[in-house]
Amino acid sequence: MSGTASTRSAGGAGSLGSAIRETAAEIAELVRGAAGTDGPVPGSQWTVGEAAAHLALANQLMAELAAGHERSYGDGTPQSLAAANEDALAAFGERGAEPLAAMIVAQAEAFLDAVERNPEQGTVITPMGPMGQAELGSYLLTHMLGHGWDLARALGRPHMIDRARVELAMPFMLAAMGRAVDEAAIATLSARYEIRLWGGSRFGATFARGAVTVTEEPPARPDCVILTEPVDFLLMALGRRGPWGSMARGHVVTWGRKPWLAPRFPALFTAP
Domain parsing of the chain, residue ranges: 5-170, 183-268
For residue 6, what pLDDT band results from cuts at 50, 70 and 90?
A: very low
CA–CA gap between residue 243 and residue 224 (Å, rounded): 15
pLDDT digits (tens, 9 = 90+) for 132-157: 999 999 999 999 999 999 999 999 99
pLDDT of 164 strictly over 70: yes
Put simply, whether the predicted model's pTM sits higher than 0.95 gets the answer no
- Percent of the chain clearing pLDDT 70 (strictly above): 95
Of the candidates 63, 47, 149, the residue with the CA atom closest to the CA atom of residue 95: 47
> How many helices (H) and strands (E) in the chain?
9, 7
Average pLDDT over residues 182-191: 94
Q: What CA–CA distance (Å, rounded) separates 136 from 220?
A: 29
Contact 75, 126 (CB under 8 A): no
Averaged pLDDT for residues 35-44: 94
The pLDDT value recorded for residue 201 is 93
**pLDDT of 121:** 81
Mean pLDDT of 118-127: 87
Q: Report whether pLDDT(14) > 60.
A: no
Over residues 228-268, the pLDDT tens digits come to: 999 999 999 999 998 889 989 999 999 999 999 999 999 99
- The CB density around residue 27, as the number of other CB atoms within 10 Å, is 29
Question: pLDDT tens digits, residue range 41-68?
Answer: 999 999 999 999 999 999 999 999 999 9
Strand 212-215 vs strand 129-131: parallel, antiparallel, or unpaired?
unpaired
Mean pLDDT of the chain: 91
- Beta strands at 129-131 and 124-126: parallel, antiparallel or unpaired: antiparallel
Distance CA(260)–CA(226), nearest Å, equals: 11
Give me the half-sphere count of Cα atoms (radius 13 Å) on the Cβ side of residue 3.
4
| Mean pLDDT in residue range 126-135 | 92
**Least reliable range by pLDDT among 72-76, 104-108, 237-241:** 72-76
Q: Given 3.30.1050.10, 3.40.50.11540, 3.40.50.360, 3.30.70.141, which CATH number is that of 183-268?
A: 3.30.1050.10
- Look at the domain 5-170 and name its fold: Four Helix Bundle (Hemerythrin (Met), subunit A) (1.20.120)
Q: Of 8-22, 26-40, 73-87, which range is least confident?
A: 8-22
